Amino acid sequence: MPRKLQEYHTGDISVTFEPALCIHSARCLSGLPEVFDVSARPWVRPEAADADTVAEVVRRCPSGALKYERRDGGPAEVPDAPAAVSPQPDGPLWVRGDIAIQDAAGAEIRHVMRAALCRCGGSANAPFCDNTHRRNGFRAP
């Protein structure tokens, strides 16, 4: 069963977290531990930092599991241009840009700015990575 979208709001910024897309890179935890703390409830506390800093750290999320929307008139996230694909050693493809992800028939599944795409072939959440590569022995440069 898909895990529910989580939402966290202040007057300045809204942060959403989509657990099914998270690949646990921990860039949020290391980037802003006063806001992102998995031992706390709620685990996201956007009020603990200014909106610009929260947005900067959310943009570091390679999977797009974290997103933000400015509520204070601050700048919205814009896709990287040109789009880029970065293969991770023994792991997924990190994709950034204005990306339309399509199924085998060419129908758009999602339109995203950041994604971690499976390249081991084992993800139960294909085309998105679910870290199966860590268990199935996938190796690639």
Instruction: Tokens for 57, please give them.
Output: 């750290």
Residue-by-residue DSSP string for 86-133: EEPTTS-EEEEEEEEEE-TTS-EEEEEEEEEE--SS--TTTTB--SGG
Residue 73: predicted pLDDT: 97
Residue 1: predicted pLDDT: 39
Question: Residues 128-137: pLDDT tens digits?
Answer: 999 999 999 9
| CA 70 to the chain's CA centroid | 17
Residue 40: predicted pLDDT: 96
pLDDT cut 70: percent of the chain above it: 99
Domains and CATH numbers, the chain: 6-70 (3.30.70.20), 84-134 (no CATH)
Question: Residues 46-103: pLDDT tens digits?
Answer: 999 999 999 999 999 999 999 999 999 999 999 999 999 999 999 999 999 999 999 9
Residue 141: predicted pLDDT: 87
What letter would DSSP give residue 69?
E
Please state the rounded mean pLDDT for residues 27-54: 98
d(CA 64, CA 88): 16
Q: Is the dihedral of CA 105, 109, 110, 114 positive or negative?
A: negative
- Residue 125 to residues 8, 56, 105, 117: CA-CA distances in angstroms? 24, 27, 18, 10
Residue 3: predicted pLDDT: 78
Please state the rounded mean pLDDT for residues 14-32: 97
Residue 2: predicted pLDDT: 52
Phi and psi, residue 9, nearest 5°: -130, 145
d(CA 95, CA 64): 9
Half-sphere exposure of residue 97: CA atoms within 13 angstroms, side-chain side: 12
Instruction: Tokens for 18, please give them.
Output: 């989509």
Average of per-residue pLDDT values in the chain:
96
